[in-house]
Structure 1
Amino acid sequence: MGKTAIILGATGLTGNILLKKLIADKNYSCIKLFSRNKVDLNSEKIQEFLIDVLQLDQHSKDFIADEVFCCVGTTAAKTKDKNSYKAIDYGIPVNAAKLAKKNGIKTFVVISSMGADAKSAIFYNRTKGEMEHAILQQNIKNTIILRPSLIGGNRNENRVGERIGKGMMTILNPFLIGGFKKYKMIDPEKIASCMMLLANKPNNKSIFSSDEIQEIATT
């Protein structure tokens, strides 16, 4: 029997790509999705739990798997209230990690962000850094934190600022070399591939920068 994976954020850009990859991978026989909305995919591997993900701890009995992939995140433009923002970007991943620890799940993979720093004066970076710290404190055996730069691809949302940024980065990408490679815009396909590869490859490292994600996904 194959492995069971949990995805949080499967309706998002990277999470949906990851879901398709897991469906196609014969090593996985069950993929549990915890979300408010259904995904637009049909597979006998999928088990959907339509819940309020802010109340994830109420679904502990269903939160059983070999691996957890957390692709949850919002933006300051979409969620202007800082308390609501933190409840999503900090609360959901940290509660998921606590449940994973409680239920003996040995692999936890989460998408953070370049610039994450618990001591940052910037609220977004500080929230991501605090989230990383809280997750690492759970001491899950195989904890993987990815820090991608600006994520490329097309979302189903109208994010004007992000669209402008992507246009600029498309022009700048070829010139970002050496120590600046970590600032290159990264394809969500590469992030999803890296998540799967690292989940299935024990390592002694927990935090991966954007250029490392790109390198791992292309090897």
Structure 2
Amino acid sequence: MAAQRIALLAGATGLIGGHLLRQLLDGGGYDRVISLGRRTLPDTHPRLEQRVVDFGALSAEAFEGVTDVFCALGTTMKQAGSEAAFRKVDHDAPLALAELSSKAGAQQFLLVSSVGADAGSVTFYLRVKGEVERDVAAVPFASVHIFQPSMLLGERGTHRPAEAIGGAVMRGVQGIMLGPLKRYRPIEASSVAAAMSEAARRGKPGRHVYQYEEIVAFAAAPRN
């Protein structure tokens, strides 16, 4: 009997995570999908298991049997309220997921980061994103896939007027964002989710970073 493929998703309540949960359940090829979160979701599915956890006090038991880990955790400085709180969500929690799931035997880790992520950046947001990329990539998985989207498009559960305006502007100018600027084009959150699912399906060994063009190509790949 073939070994079961079990996906674990952290961040299912977010914009990318919500799309990703549905894709993993409906067409990801997984025998079981575990949603790890601070609260339960209204979603129901025969292959969905929900585990309520404190991300600051995770244990390896939460990852038993998991083969692929998808991390779509993230916040904003406004939501976090401080740099320390932001770091806990965008660096400490993803790294804990990576370290504990690797110890439990997971083979793949897929992380949502940001275009421009750089551990040496003078910008706090991009520096933290770069640091978590660096630290997760050092964890001994067979495969690590890092996705660096720019502005995300899609319907959010909360109203963010500034992001709505920014998204409209970016849609209008994306046609002239060519060459090195193409990686800054806005992208649908559903496309990022589809790209993550496809990258996991292919399971290419090693460390990989994907930006706009690669994400779009993965998202458009035919599903067998």
Question: In the superposition, relative to structure 1, how do residues 90 and 26 fare at CA in structure 2: closer, same or farther (>3 Å)?
Answer: closer
Quick check: 2:16–2:193 contact (8 Å CA) kept in 1? yes
- The count of corresponding residues between Structure 1 and Structure 2 is 217
Superposition map of 1:1-219 within 5 A: 2-25=4-27, 27-56=29-58, 58=59, 60-64=60-64, 65-203=66-204, 204-219=206-221
Question: In the superposition, relative to structure 1, how do residues 138 and 180 fare at CA in structure 2: closer, same or farther (>3 Å)?
Answer: same
Please give the root-mean-square deviation of Cα atoms over the aligned residues, in Å.
1.5
**How far, CA to CA, are the matches of 1:92 and 1:22 in structure 2?**
22
**How far, CA to CA, are the matches of 1:97 and 1:130 in structure 2?**
14
Quick check: 1:11–1:37 contact (8 Å CA) kept in 2? no
Quick check: 2:28–2:201 contact (8 Å CA) kept in 1? no
**How far, CA to CA, are the matches of 1:47 and 1:97 in structure 2?**
20
**How far, CA to CA, are the matches of 1:104 and 1:147 in structure 2?**
26
CA-CA distance at 1:205 after TM superposition: 4.6
Question: In the superposition, relative to structure 1, how do residues 36 and 205 fare at CA in structure 2: closer, same or farther (>3 Å)?
Answer: closer
CA-CA distance at 1:99 after TM superposition: 0.8
Q: What residue ranges of structure 2 are gaps of 5+ in the alignment?
A: none
Quick check: 2:28–2:197 contact (8 Å CA) kept in 1? no
**How far, CA to CA, are the matches of 1:79 and 1:93 in structure 2?**
16
Tell me which amino acid in the other structure corresponds to 1:103: A
SS at match of 2:87: helix
**How far, CA to CA, are the matches of 2:29 and 2:216 in structure 1?**
23
1:10-54 deviation per Cα after TM superposition (whole angstroms, max 9, x unaligned) = 111111111111111272121111101222211011111112222
Q: What residue ranges of structure 1 are gaps of 5+ in the alignment?
A: none
1:102-150 deviation per Cα after TM superposition (whole angstroms, max 9, x unaligned) = 1111100000000100000000000000001110111311100000111
TM-score if structure 2 supplies the norm length?
Answer: 0.92
Tell me which amino acid in the other structure corresponds to 1:79: A
**How far, CA to CA, are the matches of 1:201 and 1:213 in structure 2?**
14
Tell me which amino acid in the other structure corresponds to 1:74: T
